[in-house]
Structure 1
C-alpha cells in the first residue's frame, strides 16, 4: 500500500462513520444509538472511531453540520437560480415540500435533535440554534426584498409554517401537508408583495 493510500483510509473511514451516523441518527434518534452500533454498521474499529471523533458528541456535531451543509446548499441553489426574491422563496418552499414527501422522512433533523439536547449551554444545542439563526437570517434578507417593513415578521412566519409542516408531515398525509404548506407560503408572499405595491403606488 502506498503512503497516499494509507493517508486516504482515515478520511474514508471518517466519511463512512458520518454517513452511517447521519442515516441512523435521523431515522432513530441520537441517544438511542450507541457507539458500538455505529462502529459495527460503519465497519470500522473502535480505535478508528475515536481517532476521528474523540466522543459521541463530536460525531453528533459533525452530523448536524453535515445536514446544515446539505440544507444550505439547497437554499443557496434556490436563490442563485431565481433572481426574483418571491421566486427564490417559493423555490425554497418547494424544496421543503419535496423533502416532506420523500421516503424515510422523519421531520426536521434539528428540531428532533433539540428535543434530545434541550439544555441551552450544550454544544449540540448551540449548533442547532446556529443553524436556525442562519435560516432565519437568510429568509429575513430575502423577505426584505419583497417588503422591508415586514421582513422580520414574515421570515418568522415562514419558519413557523415550515416547522409546523415538518411536524405534521410525520403524522398525516405528506402530500396534503406539503400542499397546505405551499399554499400558506404563497399567501404569505402575496400579502407582503401587495403591501409593497400599495406603498409604491402612494
Structure 2
C-alpha cells in the first residue's frame, strides 16, 4: 500500500507538454490567486499567457476546465514535494518540523492571500463541483499525511489529541472562512494562526524547511 507521502498518479499526458498549455496554467496560477477565480475572465488569462483565444480553447474546453487543471496541478506539485522531502529527511518528526516551518514561511511571505485550495473552495461551495472535490481530496491527503507522520513519530494522534492532525492544515490556511462548510470553521481557526504549544523549542526540522503549498508558485522545498 502506498504511504501517505506518495503522490497521486497524475493523468497521462503527452511526453512533451505544450508550451502554450504550460503558459496558460502558469498565468492562471498568478491571476487566479491575486485577483480571484470568478473575478478573472478567460481573456485576462489569455492576455497574461500571451496566447490566442483559439490556442486557449485548443487546450481547455472552457474556464472551468482550466480552473480544475490549475487546482490539480498545484495538488500534484505539493504531493510530489512532500514525497521528495520524505526521501531526504531522516525521521518522521524531522519531516513534521520541516513541514511546519514551511507553512510559517509561506504565511509570512509578502503577498500571501490565504491557502490556494481554501480560496478555490470558497469560490466553489457546491460539494459536488469537480473543483471542490479536488480541493477536498487535497485536504484529506494532507490530514492523512500529518496523522501518519505523527503516528510514526510516536506522538499522540488525532484520536488521542483532539483535532491535532485535522487542525494542522487550517494553520496553513492563514484565515478562517466561515462561509465554506466543513473547512476552516473549527475552534482552532479562531484568532488567526497559532503555534502548536506542544511543539519542541529551537529550530524546527533542524533547519530544514519544506514548502508544500506555496500559494503562488506551487510547492517547493528550500533548505535552511
Deviation at 1:155, TM superposition (A): 9.1
The alpha-carbon distance between structure 1 residues 52 and 166, as it changes in their structure 2 partners (threshold 3 A), is same
Contact 1:107 1:167 in 2 (8 A): yes
Query: What runs of 5+ residues in structure 1 fail to find an aligned partner?
Result: 1-6, 170-176, 188-202
Pairing of 1:98-113 with structure 2 (within 5 A):
98-113=105-120
Instruction: Establish whether residue 86 from structure 1 lines up as the match of residue 93 from structure 2.
Output: yes
Q: Counterpart in 1 of 2:153? A: 146
The Cα RMSD (Å) is 2.8
Q: Counterpart in 2 of 1:57? A: 64
Per the normalisation by structure 1, the TM-score is 0.74
Per the normalisation by structure 2, the TM-score is 0.67
Q: Counterpart in 1 of 2:199? A: 186
The alpha-carbon distance between structure 1 residues 8 and 165, as it changes in their structure 2 partners (threshold 3 A), is closer
Give structure 1 regions of 4+ aligned residues with deviation exceeding 3 angstroms.
7-10, 151-156
Pairing of 1:20-39 with structure 2 (within 5 A):
20-39=27-46
Query: What runs of 5+ residues in structure 2 fail to find an aligned partner?
Result: 1-13, 177-191, 201-224
User: What are the Cα deviations for residues 77-114 of structure 1, in whole angstroms up to 9, with x where unaligned?
Assistant: 33222221111111111111111122321110111111
- Mark the structure with the bigger radius of gyration: 1
Instruction: Establish whether residue 160 from structure 1 lines up as the match of residue 167 from structure 2.
Output: yes
Q: What is the rounded CA distance, in whole Å, between the counterparts of 1:155 and 1:14 in structure 2? A: 44
* Structure ranking higher in helix proportion: 1
Aligned residue pairs total: 172
The alpha-carbon distance between structure 1 residues 168 and 129, as it changes in their structure 2 partners (threshold 3 A), is closer
Contact 2:142 2:169 in 1 (8 A): no
Q: What is the rounded CA distance, in whole Å, between the counterparts of 1:80 and 1:10 in structure 2? A: 27
The alpha-carbon distance between structure 1 residues 126 and 39, as it changes in their structure 2 partners (threshold 3 A), is same
Q: Counterpart in 2 of 1:73? A: 80
Q: What SS does structure 1 have at the residue aligned with 2:18?
A: helix
Structure with bigger RCO (C-alpha 8 Å, 6+ apart):
2
Contact 1:140 1:152 in 2 (8 A): no
The alpha-carbon distance between structure 1 residues 147 and 154, as it changes in their structure 2 partners (threshold 3 A), is farther
Deviation at 1:151, TM superposition (A): 4.8
Q: What is the rounded CA distance, in whole Å, between the counterparts of 1:78 and 1:184 in structure 2? A: 25
Deviation at 1:66, TM superposition (A): 1.8
